[in-house]
Amino acid sequence: MDDYALSFWIYMGVMSVFIGSTLKKFLASHVSAVPSLVAWLGATLLVERLCAMCMPAVLALVAFCATCWLYSLLAAPSPVLPVEGKAVLITGCDSGFGLATAQRLDAMGFQVFATVLDADGEGAKLLRNICSPRLTLLQVDITQPQQVQQALINTKAKLGMKGLWALVNNAGVCVNFGDAELSLMSNYRGCMEVNFFGTVCITKTFLPLLRQNKGRIVTISSPSGEQPFPCLASYGASKAALNLFINTIRHELEPWGVKVSTIFPSAFKTGQSSNTEYWEKKYQHLLQNLSPSLLEEYGEDYVMETKDLFQKHAKTAKEDLSPVVNTIVKALLSPQPQVRYYSGPGVGLMYFIYSYFPLSISDKFLQKLFLKKKVIPRALRKQNELNHIKDNNNDIISNNNNVTSKME
């Protein structure tokens, strides 16, 4: 009995490691590693059947797992392309991912063209102070075609006969605040102007230089462009439009040898997200511009809770931007870059649930993950109160009728 129990626990332990490794591989790479995932699952089932038929197969399974583990330790790292002679244009380098990426690529030896909104801002000053003379700052508002064209002229003058190796589409804004009905039309237009039209403009403008070098386009998108995050309608819609554009040109540019990748980060502290004053201004601006009837139906406390939840979510976001910067570097230097990258804690699990679970479960997961709202709109509260009073009255009438019937 003891021998059987020992064999059973060895079997369970090894199978747990094996299946856990399979799930970890799947969550880390999602769609990009489907063939290898199928192979892992097939091997798991095969070994499981062998173990079920005869316990000595457990020893074979242990040996197999040990071999796989040793191979993963000793296997050569994935090859990367050389950095020398490669030029990269990065948009939105005033702060966040753009600023961090510009610093990293410059330190690696890339010739970096970093676009900023404010050439005298803190981000621009930092890049001037710590980066090499190879880095070129370009003051560009990507929503202004004239400025984008001037950036192309300046970039060509610096590159000479060289083409551009890569464009990193990082510039973006999230001016969304509140439910879709409460979001101002200026929010929708603001997000579309920067996240979609601006990115389309700069991508189209620099494509001739990228085609010349058979280069890369790397775009920072957002899971909210594919999943229905509460209170992110305008931002998510702009990213959804961007995703479709990028996927379309990915097919169209394949004959030219230009490789296109999209990165979907989890929550990180970027831009004004951790600025309390920023959220307060957004809140006051929304209150001043909402129609009185709409504000009456939702209630000021409902809007205030949304603001507080956005602030709370921003505080829990990761400060270390290196996971996204590392992913950008992979997309730039991998001989065969992935079409999609998922960067940051939890994003792989989120996509797994969204892709393979019923909508009822994935929707609840997103609501719990992002904004856990407790306050309901004022009009619904009043309706619930009326229904409650009505139900109580019905109960009283029903009880009176029962008493009358008994007396009769």
Give yes or no for a contact between 14 and 58, defined as CB atoms under 8 angstroms apart: yes
**Category of 327 on φ-ψ map: left (φ > 0), alpha (ψ -120 to 50) or beta:** alpha
Supply 97's token pair: 């991912």
Rounded Cα distance, 41 and 85, in Å:
43
Residue 51 — φ and ψ, nearest 5°? -65, -35
Question: Which residues, listed in sequence order, are joined to residue 261 by a DSSP beta bridge?
Answer: 218
Calculate ∠ Cα 211-339-138, nearest 5°.
50
Helix%, strand%, coil% for the chain, nearest 5: 65, 10, 25
CA 385 to chain centre: 40
Rounded Cα distance, 315 and 269, in Å:
8
DSSP-assigned states of every residue in 3-68: HHHHHHHHHHHHHHHHHHHHHHHHHHHGGGGHHHHHHHHHHHHHHHHHHHH-TTHHHHHHHHHHHH
Rounded Cα distance, 131 and 114, in Å:
11
Give the other-Cβ count within 10 Å of 183's Cβ: 20
Contacts 24+ apart (CB under 8 A), 390-399: none
Strand 166-169's sheet: what is its strand order?
136-139, 111-116, 87-90, 166-169, 216-220, 259-265, 340-343
Q: Helix, strand, or coil here: 217?
A: strand
Q: Helix, strand, or coil here: 113?
A: strand
For the chain, state the CA radius of gyration: 28
302 is catalytic: no
Of 11, 235, 283, 302, the active-site residue reads 235
Catalytic residues: 235
